[in-house]
């Protein structure tokens, strides 16, 4: 049932070690691909000698761009934008490399071990060029990273509403500061993975891909091979070990592997290892926001101007991250005059694309730094300053005045930000926390309290679809194109169908991520699936139910309204209310789906108990979250201890609270890692410095306190279920709230923080250099 804390069906296989991830799929005759990757951040390729590799033990083939001309055509832009300057992406480069880790050649061998041995024998003759490991270096780089783009600016986009310059000119107070924030990679525990075989009998590619977007991958493969999409089937297996955004990207290996399966007449597999994930899987890089904010004596925002530079790495498949970051900045606050402007800069790093949060953590961080600055300047309580500026409950739908990354006007559909904030303040007993802080300060401890409020665009278009089918067994199959990476679709969509149909969720089998099972799909990213596939699934289920009821009503000679579904499991039947008259679902299904060969159906029977529905939202919906945290900083070592932490989220109607809590907690953990632990670092000329978990810490259970969760439900008017999205919610406000709390802790020392992430080393140095020491 919707709203049930239902345990997951998929756990039965996952807990017993019987999951089916790409690397577990048995494909007899499988050969293994390894990739020769650029060791240079920026270099011309003078030549590639594969002769030694080709004769190494176990090698079946070695391929460069020159060997794969049939499939090496330029890719279409992932998400076009008028301001995005044209560059070329293809499977393998033929002229130059633009980042360490870029695929240059591939080797297929009997084992992965042998393939890696042979990779070491491939000789690439590089002519190094100056490389850029920082966007400021890129802006001065003597050799452009892409031909014709001399300044390495991938895009320059400006959005305004109102008149910010006037607001800044007239305001009683103006703040000007630059805030920096860096992130890193997705680091799902399963890396990228793709395995494929080619069926010669029917001329079809079958591709198993741990992707978040199987239909999009199919389209790209079809484009690269110049084949109709029907000749390519992409299946994201039932089990994918995390996605978080990077697996929604398009990668050379996904284009190359299926083709080599055809060339070699053997299934081929590529499993990304962790080093490769660090250097070749998309990430989010540095953003530098130069902010000017106008406010009045009461701390009310009058105008905000944000000009920021975003490091997009070696390619810009889209402008998703900066578009989202920029439009997230205003957040839950009323700001009549806005100017959001960004430059997306090419550097010699792995390309940037969305990682859980997708630019929103950066936007929230900037806005929440501003709120803390205002509070500090005017001597106001930080929670109070935020409350004064929040959009009120009666002000929805609220037009912000900007265009969101989905192309629709940024309009918040529903929410109750003051309610969510107050609930959190009550839960943590904010006034008492301030008293405790004073007491601890008197004892010489550095205790701080941080607050952050975030709004998140979710449920993006264009659409998502579902097919529901009643099988001749009486079970119901629910098919969706969007695949899961741990979100529990097999359980939650069974709950939705169960509700729409009126049967036990146990009778519903959810099938996901198979382009062969449903014609069209977009994919799982941006917290979009529940708000799109949910309504589609509901509609399809209701249509099938209607057909079933009509059919059975005709045969039983009653009205459809007289029928009900009753019983459970194999004894589920459809029957006339108040009587013993009925038939098992299986019988009803066979009646409509099979009939008798050559025999006319009874009048009124509806043939084919199946329906497909696609739902396209009219715009994005908006979830919201609040984080309040109490920390203590060790003055001697810079270490941060989390004393109390509450997080509130509002993702509209909740289908399965047990799972939504998991999503929020998981998002929070990723956010904490971005705030205090992980950071992707490069030398100034573009050599990656963090290429293993030893240099790139991700917190374990040991690093976390128990987090107090609370929630609120403001249903979305944009879809019949009233759902929004929850996949990224927890992440958004964490970097902001951690920096806020640590700065508050160090306030007596006069420390001000404008960078993220923090670490004991950074905090220790901030303390040592503090004016107030």
Partner 1 sequence: MKPAPFGYHRPATIAEAVALLDALQDDVKVLAGGQSLVPLMNFRLSVPAELVDINGIAELTGHDVTGDVLRLGALTRHHELERSATVRGAAPLLALAAPYIGHPQIRSMGTLGGSLSHADPAAELPGIMLALDARMVAASARGERIVPAAEFFVSHFTTALEPDELLTAVEVPVAAERTGHAFLEVAARYGDFALVGAGAAVTVDEDGAITEARIGCTSVAPTPVRAAAAEELLRGATPDADVLAEVERVVAGALEPTPELKASAAYKRRTAGVLVARAVRQAWREAGGDMRGEEAA
Partner 2 sequence: MSELSIQHSTRNAADERQRGGSVTHTVKLTVNGVEREVAVEPRMLLADTLRQQCGLTGTHIGCEQGVCGACTVLVDGLPARSCLLFTVAVAGREIETVESLENPDGSLNSLQQSFQDHHGLQCGFCTAGILMSLTALFREEPSPDETTVRDQVQGHLCRCTGYQQLVEAAMAESGRNAQVTR
586 CB-contact burial (10 Å; exposed 0-12 / middle 13-18 / buried 19+): middle
Helices (H), 303-451: 320-328, 360-378, 382-389, 417-428, 430-442
Query: Longest Cα pair distance anywhere in the chain, in angstroms?
Result: 93
What's the closest the beta carbon of residue 102 comes to partner 2, in angstroms? 12
* Exposure of 107 in the CB half-sphere (CA atoms within 13 A): 30
Distance from C-alpha of 50 to C-alpha of 62, rounded to nearest angstrom: 7
**If you compute the radius of gyration of the chain from its CA atoms, what whole number of angstroms results?**
28
Return the SS3 of 401. strand
Tell me the window of 319-327, 423-431, 624-632, 634-642 that interacts with partner 1 (CB under 8 A): 634-642
Alpha carbon separation from 427 to 422, 430, 760 (Å, rounded): 8, 8, 29
Return the SS3 of 575. strand
Distance from C-alpha of 435 to C-alpha of 412, rounded to nearest angstrom: 36
Return the SS3 of 147. coil
Helices (H), 613-733: 657-676, 729-732
Q: Does 497 bind partner 2 (CB under 8 A)?
A: no
Q: Between 7 and 689, whose beta carbon lies closer to partner 1? A: 689
What's the closest the beta carbon of residue 434 comes to partner 2, in angstroms? 26
User: Binding partner of residue 661 among partner 2, partner 1, none, CB under 5 to 8 Å per kind?
Assistant: partner 2
544 φ/ψ angles, rounded to the nearest 5 degrees: -65, -40
Distance from C-alpha of 44 to C-alpha of 94, rounded to nearest angstrom: 9
Q: Between 269 and 545, whose beta carbon lies closer to partner 2? A: 269
Q: Please select the residue that binds partner 2; options are 582, 730, 733, 757, rule is CB under 8 A.
A: 730
Q: Between 481 and 757, whose beta carbon lies closer to partner 1? A: 757
Q: Please select the residue that binds partner 1; options are 110, 116, 163, 713, rule is CB under 8 A.
A: 116
User: Binding partner of residue 760 among partner 2, partner 1, none, CB under 5 to 8 Å per kind?
Assistant: partner 1
Tell me the window of 358-366, 707-715, 717-725, 759-767 that interacts with partner 1 (CB under 8 A): 759-767
User: Binding partner of residue 148 among partner 2, partner 1, none, CB under 5 to 8 Å per kind?
Assistant: none
Q: Does 117 bind partner 1 (CB under 8 A)?
A: yes
What's the closest the beta carbon of residue 725 comes to partner 2, in angstroms? 16
**In the 8-state DSSP scheme, what is residue 134?**
S
Contact 606, 534 (CB under 8 A): no
What string marks each residue from 179 to 218 as x (binds partner 2 by CB under 8 A) or -? -------xxxxxx---------------------------
Q: Between 379 and 636, whose beta carbon lies closer to partner 1? A: 636
Q: Please select the residue that binds partner 1; options are 12, 761, 772, 773, rule is CB under 8 A.
A: 761
Nearest 5°: CA angle at 631, between 630 and 634?
A: 160
What string marks each residue from 680 to 719 as x (binds partner 1 by CB under 8 A) or -? -x-------xx-x-xx-x-xx-xx----------------
Contact 297, 165 (CB under 8 A): no
What's the closest the beta carbon of residue 119 comes to partner 1, in angstroms? 10
Residues 6+ apart with CB under 8 A from 212: 236, 240, 243, 245, 247, 248, 483, 485, 523, 524, 525
Helices (H), 284-381: 320-328, 360-378
Distance from C-alpha of 740 to C-alpha of 736, rounded to nearest angstrom: 6
Q: Please select the residue that binds partner 2; options are 40, 411, 437, 624, rule is CB under 8 A.
A: 40
Contact 736, 365 (CB under 8 A): yes
User: Binding partner of residue 665 among partner 1, partner 2, none, CB under 5 to 8 Å per kind?
Assistant: partner 2
Q: Please select the residue that binds partner 1; options are 70, 120, 265, 506, rule is CB under 8 A.
A: 120
Q: Between 73 and 112, whose beta carbon lies closer to partner 2? A: 112
Q: Between 111 and 178, whose beta carbon lies closer to partner 1? A: 111
What's the closest the beta carbon of residue 668 comes to partner 1, in angstroms? 17
Residue numbers 684-703 binding partner 2 by CB under 8 A: 687-695, 698, 700-702
Residues 6+ apart with CB under 8 A from 47: 124, 125
Q: Between 211 and 680, whose beta carbon lies closer to partner 1? A: 680
Element (DSSP H or E) covering residue 479: strand 476-480
What's the closest the beta carbon of residue 187 comes to partner 2, in angstroms? 6
Return the SS3 of 234. strand
Tokens representing 544?
């099938």
Task: For the beta carbon of residue 325, count every other beta carbon within 10 angstroms.
Answer: 29
Residue numbers 217-246 binding partner 2 by CB under 8 A: 239-242, 244
Q: Does 58 bind partner 1 (CB under 8 A)?
A: no
What's the closest the beta carbon of residue 762 comes to partner 1, in angstroms? 8
Q: Between 21 and 396, whose beta carbon lies closer to partner 2? A: 21
Q: Does 21 bind partner 2 (CB under 8 A)?
A: yes
Q: Does 19 bind partner 2 (CB under 8 A)?
A: yes
Among 739, 5, 765, CA closest to 373: 739
Q: Does 12 bind partner 2 (CB under 8 A)?
A: yes
Q: Does 768 bind partner 1 (CB under 8 A)?
A: yes
**In the 8-state DSSP scheme, what is residue 703?**
G
Residues 6+ apart with CB under 8 A from 673: 697, 698, 699
What string marks each residue from 243 to 262 as x (binds partner 2 by CB under 8 A) or -? -x------------------
Q: Which residues are near partner 2 by CB under 8 A? A: 7-8, 10-12, 14-19, 21, 23-24, 39-40, 52, 57, 100, 113, 120-121, 123-124, 126, 186-191, 239-242, 244, 273-275, 485-488, 658-659, 661-662, 665-670, 687-695, 698, 700-702, 704, 706-707, 730
Q: Which residues are near partner 1 by CB under 8 A? A: 112-113, 116-117, 120, 273, 275, 636-639, 677, 681, 689-690, 692, 694-695, 697, 699-700, 702-703, 759-762, 764-765, 768
């Amino acid at each position: 049932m919707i709203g049930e804390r239902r345990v997951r069906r998929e756990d039965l296989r996952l807990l017993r070690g019987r999951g089916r991830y790409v690397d577990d799929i048995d494909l007899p005759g499988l050969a293994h691909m390894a990739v020769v990757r650029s060791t240079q951040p920026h270099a011309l390729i003078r030549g590639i000698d594969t002769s030694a590799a080709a004769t190494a033990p176990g090698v079946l083939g070695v391929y460069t761009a020159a060997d794969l001309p049939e499939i090496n055509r330029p890719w279409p832009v992932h998400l076009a934008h008028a301001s995005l300057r044209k560059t070329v992406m293809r499977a393998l480069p033929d002229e130059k490399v633009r980042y360490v880790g870029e695929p240059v050649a591939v080797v297929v061998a009997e084992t992965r071990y042998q393939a890696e041995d042979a990779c070491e024998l491939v000789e690439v003759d590089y002519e190094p060029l100056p490389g850029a490991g920082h966007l400021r270096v890129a802006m001065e780089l003597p050799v452009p990273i892409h031909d014709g783009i001399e300044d390495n600016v991938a895009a320059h986009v400006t959005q305004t509403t109102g008149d910010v310059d006037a607001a800044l000119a007239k305001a009683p107070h103006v703040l000007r500061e630059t805030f920096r924030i860096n992130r890193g990679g997705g680091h799902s525990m399963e890396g990228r993975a793709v395995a494929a075989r080619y069926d010669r009998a029917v001329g079809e590619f079958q591709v198993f891909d741990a992707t978040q977007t199987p239909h999009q991958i199919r389209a790209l493969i079809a484009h690269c091979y110049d084949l109709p999409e029907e000749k390519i089937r992409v299946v994201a297996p039932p089990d994918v070990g995390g996605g978080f955004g990077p697996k929604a990207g398009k990668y050379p290996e996904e284009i190359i592997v299926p083709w080599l399966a055809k060339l070699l007449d053997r299934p081929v597999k590529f499993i990304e290892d962790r080093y490769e994930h660090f250097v070749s899987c998309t990430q989010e890089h540095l953003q530098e926001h130069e902010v000017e904010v106008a406010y009045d004596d009461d701390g009310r925002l009058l105008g905000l101007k944000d000009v920021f530079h975003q490091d997009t790495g070696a390619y810009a498949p889209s402008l998703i991250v900066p578009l989202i970051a920029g439009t997230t900045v205003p957040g839950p606050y009323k700001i009549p005059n806005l100017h959001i402007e960004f430059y997306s800069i090419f550097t010699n790093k792995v390309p940037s694309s969305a990682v859980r949060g997708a630019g929103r953590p950066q936007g929230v961080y900037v806005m929440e730094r501003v709120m803390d600055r205002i509070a500090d300047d005017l001597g106001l309580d930080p929670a109070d300053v935020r409350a004064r500026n929040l959009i009120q409950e009666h002000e929805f739908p609220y037009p912000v005045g900007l265009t969101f990354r989905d192309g629709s006007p940024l309009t918040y559909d529903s929410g109750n930000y003051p309610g969510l904030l107050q609930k959190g303040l009550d839960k943590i007993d904010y006034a008492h926390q301030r008293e405790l802080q004073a007491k601890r300060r008197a004892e010489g401890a550095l205790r701080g309290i941080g607050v952050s409020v975030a709004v998140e665009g979710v449920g993006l278009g264009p659409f998502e679809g579902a097919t529901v089918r009643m099988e001749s067994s009486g079970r119901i199959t629910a098919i969706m194109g969007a695949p899961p990476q741990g979100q529990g679709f097999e359980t939650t969509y069974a709950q939705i169908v169960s509700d729409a149909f009126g049967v036990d969720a146990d009778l519903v089998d959810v099938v996901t991520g198979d382009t062969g099972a449903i014609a069209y799909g977009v994919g799982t990213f941006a917290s979009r699936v529940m708000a799109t596939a949910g309504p589609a699934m509901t509609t399809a289920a209701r249509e099938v139910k209607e057909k079933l009821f009509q059919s059975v009503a005709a045969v039983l000679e009653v009205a459809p309204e007289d029928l009900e579904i009753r019983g459970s499991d194999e004894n589920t039947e459809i029957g006339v209310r108040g009587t013993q008259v009925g038939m098992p679902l299986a019988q009803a299904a066979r009646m409509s789906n099979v009939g008798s060969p050559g025999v006319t159906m009874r009048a009124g029977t509806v043939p084919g108990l199946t329906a497909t529905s696609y739902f396209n939202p009219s715009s994005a919906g908006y979830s919201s979250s609040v984080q309040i945290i109490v920390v203590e900083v060790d003055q001697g070592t810079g270490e941060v201890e989390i004393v109390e932490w509450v997080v509130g989220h509002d993702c509209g109607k909740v289908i399965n609270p047990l799972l939504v809590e998991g999503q929020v907690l998981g998002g929070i953990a990723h956010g904490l890692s971005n705030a205090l632990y992980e950071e992707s670092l490069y030398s100034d000329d573009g050599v990656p410095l963090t290429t293993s978990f030893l240099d790139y810490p991700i917190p374990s259970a040991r690093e976390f306190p128990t987090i107090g969760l609370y929630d609120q439900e403001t249903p979305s008017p944009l879809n019949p279920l009233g759902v929004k999205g929850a996949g990224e919610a927890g992440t958004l406000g964490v970097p902001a709230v951690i920096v806020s709390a640590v700065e508050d802790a160090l306030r007596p020392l006069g420390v001000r923080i404008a960078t993220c992430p923090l670490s004991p080393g950074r905090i220790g140095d901030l303390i040592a250099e503090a004016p107030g020491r």
